[in-house]
Amino acid sequence: MFCFFFKPFGLQNYTFFLKYESFFEKKFVLQDFFCIFAPKMKKNEQFYRYLYAWYAENRRVLPWRETTDPYCIWVSEIILQQTRVQQGIDYYLRFIDRFPTVDDLARATEDEVLRMWQGLGYYSRARNLHKGARYITEERKHLQSPEWFPAGYDELRRIPGVGDYTAGAIASFAYNLPYPAPDGNVYRVLARLNDDETPFDTTEGKKRFRKQDCDLLDQTQPRLFNSALMELGALVCTHPTPDCEVCPVSDYCLGLKHNTAALLPVRKSRPVVRDRYFCYTIYLNGDKTLIRQRTEKDIWHHLWEFPLEEVEAFPERETPLLGEFTHQLSHQRIHARFYIEKVPELPPVPLTYAVKLSELDDYALSRLTLKALDLISESVSRVLF
């Protein structure tokens, strides 16, 4: 058995006594000790210095990083949920151009908001953003303060659709308040830093990683810390393989030292994907067609599409087939066929409305409908005329 006394740097008032059954175990656990406790000692400052120096040289210029306007940051955070940054930039700029203030967003109709969101998917995000804007404007009236915007974490959490992550992001990025903002990139960094195989997308995992983020958070510069940690996850500590050789904080990483970084983070088992089969019929009478709004509580709620019949399997049809698509959602796989039919008069299909093809830009359309419209512009003359 080996016994070992030592005084770690920064903790001279404490003496640690460790005993091991083997010399190999001593080396392994001492290594773990410095990796686990270094961020909690004075070396935390060194961790920050390394991280911030890297961030200063490598940070991307993103429009929402150039502002501390809480409304703009809120919009960006909602857009970036389930959306890649490069795609999100264009949507963010268009959205802010169309709705430059929270009052502009609150005054808009839901259809206008959904149309600006068209193509991003997960439309409940847009509906909650719209509800949140109306909540804020109502609070402004109640408080008789036309410029009021939630400034504290608890106030931000009361906005419809704003959870722990979004509230922490707005609080830190807009107001520089010391709250963590653990997104997917941060979960990945923390799981590897701590060699933690707890599934991050479970209730236990979220609580665990949020605590780790709180423990590591730079209380004096939370805006900078959260931005830098997110950027590290986006550019270096990437999925599935991190670039450990260029990581500025690799000395602190248990995942690297234990050769487990590429295995982390762990995700819980995915649910079984459900297959659905959609048959759309595009009726054309000159420049007019029929569309319907999805009012049932299902995917693409309140979006517009062509008349639809959902079937167990695709039937044989004599109607010309315009195109066929497969659209992957998180828990569903949509198989869609679009049939096109020229008619002397639009049929009385229940719950549909007659519109001109040129007017479809005024409606918030599902992504599948947008794909079909692209095919119509390319193929309708060839198929019908």
- Specify burial of residue 219 (Cβ count, 10 A radius: 0-12, 13-18, 19+): exposed
Sign of the alpha-carbon dihedral angle for 309, 313, 314, 317: negative
Average pLDDT over residues 310-333: 92
385 confidence band (pLDDT: 50, 70, 90): very low
Is 50 among the domain residues? no
Is 291 among the domain residues? yes
Statement to judge: residues 143 and 211 lie in one domain: yes
- Specify burial of residue 189 (Cβ count, 10 A radius: 0-12, 13-18, 19+): buried
Statement to judge: residues 84 and 142 lie in one domain: yes
Statement to judge: residues 257 and 305 lie in one domain: no
Is 289 among the domain residues? yes
Is 46 among the domain residues? no
Nearest-CA neighbor of 132 among 91, 102, 110, 166? 102
- Residue 170 near residue 70 (C-beta atoms within 8 A): yes
pLDDT in tens, 219-228: 999 999 999 9
pLDDT in tens, 28-41: 344 444 444 444 44
- Residue 230 near residue 186 (C-beta atoms within 8 A): yes
CATH at 258:
1.10.340.30
> Rounded CA gap, 186 and 222, in Å?
14
Is 315 among the domain residues? yes
Statement to judge: residues 15 and 156 lie in one domain: no
Task: Name every residue whose Cβ is closer than 8 Å to that of residue 154 and which is 6 or more positions away in sequence.
Answer: none
Statement to judge: residues 240 and 291 lie in one domain: no
Average pLDDT over residues 3-10: 42
Statement to judge: residues 134 and 258 lie in one domain: yes
**How many structural domains does the chain have?**
3
Statement to judge: residues 103 and 247 lie in one domain: yes
Give the end of a domain, one of 244, 263, 282. Answer: 263
Range(s) of the domain holding residue 357: 274-384
What pLDDT, on the 0 to 100 scale, is given for residue 42? 56
- List residues with catalytic annotation: 77
Statement to judge: residues 280 and 257 lie in one domain: no
Is 52 among the domain residues? no
| pTM, full prediction | 0.79
Q: Which residue has the tokens 């409305």?
A: 353
Nearest-CA neighbor of 215 among 31, 56, 38? 38
pLDDT in tens, 144-167: 999 999 999 999 999 999 999 999
